[in-house]
Structure 1
Amino acid sequence: MTETTGTHPDLDPATGALLAFLAAAGTPPMSQQTPEQARAGFRTLAVDLRDDSLLPPMAEVRDVEVPGGAGPRPARVYRPHAEGPLPTVLFLHGGGFVIGDLDTHDLTCRTIAEHSRAVVVSLDYRLAPEHPFPAAVEDTLAAAEWLVEHTGDLGGDHRTAVAGDSAGGNLAAVTAQHLRDRGHDLTAQLLIYPVTEMGADTDSFRDNAEGYFLDADTMLWFGAQYAGPAGVDPSDPRLSPRHGDLAGLAPAVVVTAQFDPLRDDGDGYARALTDAGVRVEHRQFPGLIHGFVDMGRHSPAADAAVLETCRLFGDLLHR
């Protein structure tokens, strides 16, 4: 049975206070909104309510265009105040393939760039339902293939990696498999509470079905938007990378949260990678919820988890 929001004894208290604040706002769940409403609400939470003076300063932030599946796509390059040469990371934002953009994940990209000591290239891939699967995959793979050949133009060196949170973690995992198949040796991959098996029925999906920011109904709504009216085969590795060939993939950092419907999905992918012989640094952070990577300003525990995640990723990038 799902606990009432913020009352589970193991939930991080600061995160519980944030959940109570969000619940008091009375905003309908995303599953009851239009995509446009959901995007606007997410931008309010992630962009409008933050203090930009607290954003990690960068040596350079610039907007560029990179190849996509159906033409150029907007992207943003972050170069930290760090001595070079630096690795180059393609970052894919979360949001269920429906919401999120370059601005909503600006803080996350700056944090990774600063604390993992890397040039980060954030991609604005096409979103569903206007552009259902496989549009996001096609944009990501086109950008990734371009990036591994143009790291010098972006201020990085030959070391390359992929990273993403949630839906972006899915795209990062898919991209790591694709680039391996194309003969590119990635240095690392960072998967933050990733979706790796679409529609998986897990204990965490049931136990954390409501009350912890991301709920089961919203997950199902995201999936329906992304699949499109024609539907998709959930075993397609471009949709569910858990069904792909995992041998020979780049070393991975996989992080999950205790009170996340996607916890078991990410934990299972970490085990599958390990079983396939891939080096994996895996952390399940206690007391935290889906989205903690953007909650450090509210929760010291979330902030510590983000810094630990960046340290692990940086260690792989600079090993």
Structure 2
Amino acid sequence: MRKKLINIFDQHQEITARIVDRMPKIVQKSLVELLSYPYQYPNLDSFIQCMLAAQYRRGYKGLINGSIVQSRIQFEQQMQRISSHKTYISKTEDIHLPLQSGTLLARHYQPAPHKKLPMVVYYHGGGFILGSINTHDEVCRLLAKYAQVQVLSINYPLAPEFGSNQIIQICEDALAWTYQNRKNLKILKSRIAVAGDSAGGNLATVIAQKTKLKKHAPRAQLLIYPVTDFARRYPSYYAYKDGLILTSDDVDIMISEYAKKHDMSLSQPNISPLYGDLKKLAPTYIVTAEYDVLHDEGEIYANLLQQKGIKVKYVNYDDQTHGFINLTPISKKAKKHTIQMFKDFRKFWNKQEGYFWNIF
């Protein structure tokens, strides 16, 4: 019976996931038991537990399983399999940014093409070594629609082929290009924010620190379960190290490929923004997931920013795990949380700049 269930999940992943998502919680819990999921995360959303249990039985060991190249392919394919129904956006366009370092692909989302809107420059997650504008396409669509902003999703180069300093500079150049082209892009009153999830959250806030005295400094930050401290291990690293979407082994590989291979000190601000100069940064909306190896460092970063006088909104989703914003195509709860997050981010940003906005 267990093998049959796993085969169903494998062959009809998106359809099966949607069916399981609609089941009563008690049925979902029974499926978790039937699949003999060995980890005890009692308050984790029961649908996500079902998905994790099925993955566990298929031999899933984390995001980075085997070679990096193969892991990249698997991540792209996984997101493609569950994302057949895309959120409608009036205009999406792949564009090539002519940067000093070369031409860089980005995807522009414009929910109201004839209207001036703020812009969010988005850096995708994936541990600095996985992911693309395709794996985070649905995330950016939801952000554009529910925050009512333009989104420019950056297809930055990945480690270990590129060093951390190269990646950071290219990501900053993309932000500078956006500012320089603010009129052509119809950006409302030069309102440009940076955003990202996981590794992308790290890049977003590192760039916010680096540029805070420059003309193209962002006016707000949206950091979704960001990596903020490579140098230390916190209790959440040990409490949630196995059986979830992101494992402690994934984090260790990420550190090796992004920082250590390029002789970067783990405590320098370009790698661990928690140790940077936190004064005079843009208002910051920080999100963590309770069942996440990165939970504690995200919460600590939020507290440190507040201590430095930065306007901060901190939200923890106590029934979610790392990566939940990528589960919105198959999880009603993950989608509900993500939509609310994006609406609240726009309200938070407006409040800091003295705007009133409530179209929903």
Whether these two folds match at TM > 0.5 is: yes
Does residue 1:307 correspond to 2:353, yes or no?
no
1:93-108 alignment runs, 5 A limit:
93-108=124-139
Match of 1:9 in 2: 42
- TM-superposition CA deviations, 1:259-285 (whole Å, max 9, x none): 000000111111111111111111010
Show CA shifts across 1:29-60 (max 9, x none).
44441111110110111123322xx3111111
Q: Which range moves more in the overlay, 26-35 or 67-76?
A: 26-35
Matched, 1:210 2:210: no
Paired residues of 2:106 and 2:152 also in contact (CA < 8 A)? yes
**Equivalence for 1:48:** 81
- Per the alignment, in what secondary structure is the counterpart of residue 145 of structure 2? helix
Structure 1's consecutive aligned runs of 4 or more residues displaced over 6 angstroms after TM superposition are none
Question: In structure 2, the residue corresponding to 1:305 is in which secondary structure?
Answer: helix
Shift of 1:184: 4.0
Q: Which protein is bigger by CA-based radius of gyration?
A: 2
Aligned residue in 1 for 2:223 = 191
Residue in 2 aligned with 1:23?
Answer: 56
**1:294 matched to which residue of 2?**
326
Over 3 Å counting, the alpha-carbon distance change for 1:69 and 1:243 in structure 2 is farther
2:315 partner SS: strand
Structure 2 residue identity aligned to 1:219 = V
Contact 1:274-1:280 within 8 A present in 2 as well = yes
Q: Note closer, same or farther for the CA distance 1:247–1:183 as it changes in structure 2 (3 Å cut).
A: farther
Deviation of 1:202 after TM superposition, in Å, equals 0.2
What's the counterpart of residue 161 of structure 2? 130
- Stretches of structure 1 that go unaligned for 5 or more consecutive residues are none
Query: Structure 1 residue 307: deviation in Å?
Result: 1.5
Q: Which amino acid aligns with 1:46?
A: M
Q: State the match for 1:226 in structure 2.
A: 258
Aligned residues of 1:190 and 1:253 also touching (Cα < 8 A): yes
What TM-score do you get using the length of structure 2 for normalisation? 0.83
Name the SS for the 1:154 alignment partner: coil
Asked if 1:201 is matched to 2:211, the reply is no
Counterpart residue type for residue 80 of structure 1: P
Following the alignment from structure 1 to structure 2, what is the Cα–Cα distance between the partners of residues 5 and 59?
45
1:91 alignment partner, one of 108, 113, 122: 122
Give the residue type in structure 1 aligned to 2:103: P
SS in 2 for 1:36: helix
1:188 and 1:313 in contact (8 A); partners too = no
TM-score for the superposition, normalised by structure 1:
0.93
Deviates further, 163-172 or 134-143: 134-143
Answer yes or no: is the 8 Å Cα contact 2:65–2:71 preserved in 1.
no
Deviates more, 1:98-107 or 1:178-187: 178-187
> Which secondary structure does the structure 2 equivalent of 1:152 belong to?
coil
Partner residue of 1:112? 143
Q: Find the residue that maps to 1:148 and give its secondary structure.
A: helix
In 1, distance between residues paired with 2:65 and 2:231?
19
Inter-partner Cα distance in structure 1 for 2:37 and 2:292: 14
Percent identity for Structure 1 against Structure 2: 32
Please tell me the root mean square deviation across aligned C-alpha atoms, in Å: 1.9
Give the residue type in structure 1 aligned to 2:280: G
Instruction: Tell whether the 8 Å contact from 1:214 to 1:290 is kept in structure 2 after alignment.
Output: yes
Report how many aligned residue pairs link the two structures. 315
Q: Is the 8 A contact 1:190 1:313 kept in 2?
A: yes
Task: Specify which structure has the bigger relative contact order, considering alpha-carbon pairs within 8 angstroms and separated by 6 or more residues.
Answer: 1
Match of 1:260 among 273, 283, 292: 292
**Which 5+ residue runs of structure 2 have no aligned equivalent?**
1-35, 356-360
Q: Distance in 1 between matches of 2:47 and 2:329?
A: 10
* 1:60 corresponding residue in structure 2: 91
For 1:47, give the aligned amino acid: Q
Instruction: State the distance in 1 between where 2:88 and 2:187 align.
Output: 18
